[in-house]
Amino acid sequence: MTSDELDRALEEALRVEPPVGYLARVRARVAAEQTATATRYTWRPIGAMAAAGVVLVVGGLLLERDDDHGRLATNTATVGTVSAPGTSSRRVVGRDVVQVPTVTRNRGASAVPLERRPGHAADDAGNAAPNADRPAELLISPDDSEGLRLLRALPEAALAVPVIESAGPQTPQFSRIDVSPIQLDPLAELTPLTLGELQ
């Protein structure tokens, strides 16, 4: 077979006309694709807005939860001073907020704002605090602070401590129970021969 014959045979083999209605079907397919694309583009902004809404709601809930944690930490870190009765001077000193990572069971590391105690002589950078000469103050809860003030006032005011008697039922009776001790036999010593047999 010569090259010309081969080329002619190839052209004949590939001279295939598309079936009737082919172009119309292709146009219909492209039109369907247009509609599908338009629908996709219509739903895309709606989907994006819905996703943004969900993100906002979840973010708001998380922020609210973090605020609750921060309030709790602030309450427990409130600085109180013990003073004489009648001169209550509980106060919050030092509002420097320090980000301290804490680890809880359910969540990973999270930053809870805590308050810096005024008694700290230096900060993380090594700079001396302005109130470094002041003695360190106790860091206790308000309830404990009230209790300590009362205890301190007792000897000064010569207050009689009321004895609270138990108003409950009678002391329960206990009976003695004899428990015999468990005795264990000593282990038999193994000789090299026995060991060999066991192996």
Partner 1 sequence: MDDRLDLLLPGLVTRDDDLETEFEALLGETSTLAFRVAFGVLRHQQDAEDVAQESFAKAFRHFRRLRDRTRFRAWLVRMAWRTALDRQRSNRRRGARELVVDGSALTEAARADGLADQAARDRAAALWTAIDALPEKLRLVVVLSGIQGHDHREVATLLRIPEGTVKSRMFLARQQLKETLR
Provide the binding-site residues for partner 1, judged by CB under 8 A: 1, 3, 6-7, 9-19, 22-23, 25-27, 29-30, 32-34, 37
Q: Which is nearer to partner 1, 14 or 160 (CB)?
A: 14
**What count of other Cβ atoms lies within 10 Å of the Cβ of residue 58?**
10
DSSP secondary structure of 47-84: HHHHHHHHHHHHHHHHHHHHHHHHHHHHHHT-------
Residue listed under structure tokens 């809404």: 53
Which of 69, 76, 117 is closest to 97 using CA atoms?
117
> Smallest distance, Å, CB 104 to partner 1?
49
Q: Which is nearer to partner 1, 36 or 136 (CB)?
A: 36
Q: Which is nearer to partner 1, 1 or 164 (CB)?
A: 1
Residue listed under structure tokens 């008697």: 165
> Smallest distance, Å, CB 50 to partner 1?
22
> Smallest distance, Å, CB 43 to partner 1?
16
